[in-house]
């Protein structure tokens, strides 16, 4: 038996097995919006197969790009291989992917209830709570999943590490508590390099591919790795709602997978350096980063192969200090999103989590850092400069408020 390939090798070669037969080395891009039909009958059969979530027949046609695109399909194959899944389905954004997951497991199967484990990305939390998709939601903590399940529960939504405070949940335990209800894990922060939720029993591993998978801040996308039966349900939703990823975006994502392991390694090394520095800073009340408590329950050791490159920190000076630091960096771009080659800083409560109810919103003194590929010493110096200007800025902003008061959980310790 051939030994399984290392994930670094899979990242480079996945989804490329047919390139030699095509006589090319670089990934091809198919921009066709419509495709010739061999005849009326086979064209119609092809349309029906793909519009209902299936794959294109071997003797048929791809018909129309809303139903199928070869460049997108090649990226999906690559991501599925990296996530140890039978298939994956790509969408025009991470929120489009989550929307399809919810629809496919609620309305489409006669269910109406979703269990959502907080904390979650603000967009996901807001989508569920808005009622826009017709689903009812029960929010809970990981240990409360079993007690939150109802006969009409169609889905459990989990994010780990969670946005923005890097909370870690035991995926296998949540799957056990969910019983027969499928669990979707938002794996955006960890990526397939550090975590494979399907190996731990999850039905789906979802990514905002905009982030680490693309890695360069130039493509919006989402993707869900899953079993083939689930993929058919998701492709059906995608075909009806028009959520297909553009082929150019799929090309950029597939290209980005090849460098994902080395990017994650370097970004993680930088993050650990910065966390160690932050822990000794008097301006910092808490640092949020996986493993600062030594992993007493062994969750990290069981389900992750690293701690990632996202950091959150709670400022001693409250909202005024957080606001001043967010606007006071130079190398850290003050912007939403994450996972790119350059470092970003943002205030979750005022931005990505602004629509979240106050009881679940991050505290007003919390900032989130996405660590890039810059030199770690340069990034530390940039933060130090922002901290140095904190006192006068905090005094001038001291009376400013935003409606973001909430809990703050974290551990302030040494790596």
**DSSP one-letter string for 60-110:** S---BTTT--HHHHHHHHHHHHHTT-SEEEEESSHHHHHHHHHHHHTGGGT
| Catalytic site positions | 66, 121, 186, 211
Question: Tokens 């689903």 sit at which residue?
Answer: 135
User: Could you say which architecture CATH assigns to the domain 7-258?
Assistant: 3-Layer(aba) Sandwich (3.40)
Reading the block at residue 273, the tokens are 């350096």
How far is 94 from 85, CA to CA, in rounded Å? 18
How far is 88 from 80, CA to CA, in rounded Å? 5
How many other C-beta atoms are found inside a 10 Å radius of the C-beta of residue 109? Answer: 11
Residue 116 three-state SS: strand
Residue 123 three-state SS: helix
How far is 21 from 62, CA to CA, in rounded Å? 20
- Render 300-324 in DSSP notation, one character per residue: HHHH-SS--SEEEEEETTHHHHHHH
Give the burial class of 174: count Cβ atoms within 10 A of its Cβ; 0-12 exposed, 13-18 middle, 19 or more buried. Answer: buried
C-alpha of 297 from chain center: 24
If you count them, how many residues does the chain have?
415
Reading the block at residue 80, the tokens are 């599925």
Q: What is the pLDDT of residue 1?
A: 62
Answer whether the bond into residue 66 is a cis peptide, omega within 30°. no
Contact 196, 205 (CB under 8 A): yes
Q: What is the pLDDT of residue 357?
A: 76
Phi and psi angles of residue 132, each rounded to the nearest 5 degrees, phi first: -60, -35
Which residues, 6+ apart, have CB-to-CB distance to 62 below 8 Å? 32, 35, 46, 50, 56, 68, 69, 70
Q: Count how many Cα atoms sit within 13 Å of the Cα of residue 1 in the half-sphere of its side chain.
A: 3
Q: What is the DSSP letter of 379?
A: H
Contact 195, 170 (CB under 8 A): no
Q: Look up the CATH number of domain 261-397.
A: 3.90.1150.10
Segments making up each domain of the chain, as ranges: 7-258, 261-397
Report the sign of the C-alpha dihedral through residues 173, 178, 183, 186, in that order: negative
Q: What is the pLDDT of residue 403?
A: 38
Contact 356, 125 (CB under 8 A): yes
Q: What is the full per-residue pLDDT of the chain (415 aa) written as tens digits?
A: 678 899 999 999 999 999 999 999 999 999 999 999 999 999 999 999 999 999 999 999 999 999 999 999 999 999 999 999 999 999 999 999 999 999 999 999 999 999 999 999 999 999 999 999 999 999 999 999 999 999 999 999 999 999 999 999 999 999 999 999 999 999 999 999 999 999 999 999 999 999 999 999 999 999 999 999 999 999 999 999 999 999 999 999 999 999 999 999 999 999 999 999 999 999 999 999 999 989 999 999 999 999 999 999 999 999 999 999 999 999 999 999 999 999 999 999 887 777 777 777 878 999 999 999 999 999 999 999 999 988 654 544 443 333 333 333 333 333 4
- Listed in sequence order, the DSSP H helices in 208-330 are 228-241, 247-278, 299-303, 318-326
How many Å from the N-terminal Cα to the C-terminal Cα in the chain? 40
- pTM of the predicted structure, to 2 decimals: 0.92
Helix (H) or strand (E) holding 381: helix 376-388
Reading the block at residue 237, the tokens are 């939703």
How far is 102 from 96, CA to CA, in rounded Å? 10
Report the side by side order of strands in the sheet with 87-91.
87-91, 222-226, 204-207, 183-186, 153-159, 113-117, 136-140
């Amino acid at each position: 038996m051939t030994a399984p390939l290392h994930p670094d090798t899979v990242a480079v070669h996945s989804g490329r097995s047919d390139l030699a037969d095509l006589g090319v080395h670089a990934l091809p891009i198919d921009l066709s919006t419509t495709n010739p039909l061999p005849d009326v009958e086979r064209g119609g059969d092809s349309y029906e197969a793909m519009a209902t979530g299936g794959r294109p027949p071997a003797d048929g046609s791809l018909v129309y790009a809303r139903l199928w695109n070869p460049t997108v399909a090649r990226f999906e194959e690559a991501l599925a291989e990296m996530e140890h899944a039978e298939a994956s389905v790509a969408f025009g954004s991470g929120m489009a992917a989550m929307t399809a997951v919810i629809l496919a497991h609620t309305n489409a199967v006669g269910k109406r209830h979703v269990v959502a484990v907080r904390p979650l990305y603000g967009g996901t939390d807001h989508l569920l709570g808005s009622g826009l998709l017709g689903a009812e939601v029960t929010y809970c903590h990981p240990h409360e999943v079993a007690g939150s399940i109802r006969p009409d529960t169609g889905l459990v939504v989990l994010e780990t590490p969670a946005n923005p405070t890097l909370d870690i949940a035991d995926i296998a335990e949540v799957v056990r508590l969910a019983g027969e209800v499928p669990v979707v894990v938002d794996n955006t922060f960890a990526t397939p390099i550090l975590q494979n939720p399907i190996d731990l029993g999850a039905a789906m591993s979802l990514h905002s591919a905009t982030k680490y998978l693309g890695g360069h801040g130039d493509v919006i996308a989402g993707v869900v790795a899953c079993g083939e039966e689930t993929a058919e349900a998701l492709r059906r939703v995608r075909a009806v709602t028009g959520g297909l990823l553009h082929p150019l975006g799929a090309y950029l994502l597939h290209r980005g997978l090849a460098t994902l392991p080395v990017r994650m390694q370097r970004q993680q090394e930088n993050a650990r350096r910065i966390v160690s520095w932050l822990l000794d800073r008097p301006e910092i009340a808490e640092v949020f980063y996986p493993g600062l408590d030594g992993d007493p329950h062994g969750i990290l050791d069981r389900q992750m192969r690293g701690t990632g490159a996202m950091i959150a920190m709670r400022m001693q000076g409250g909202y005024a200090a957080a606001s001043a630091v967010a606007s006071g960096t130079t190398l850290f771009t003050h912007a939403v999103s994450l996972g790119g080659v350059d470092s970003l800083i943002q205030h979750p409560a005022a931005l990505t989590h602004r629509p979240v109810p106050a009881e679940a919103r991050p505290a007003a003194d919390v900032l989130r850092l996405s660590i890039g590929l810059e030199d770690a010493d340069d990034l530390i110096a940039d933060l130090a400069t922002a901290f140095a200007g904190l006192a006068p800025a905090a005094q001038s902003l001291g009376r400013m408020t935003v409606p973001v008061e909430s809990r703050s959980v974290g551990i302030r310790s040494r790596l």
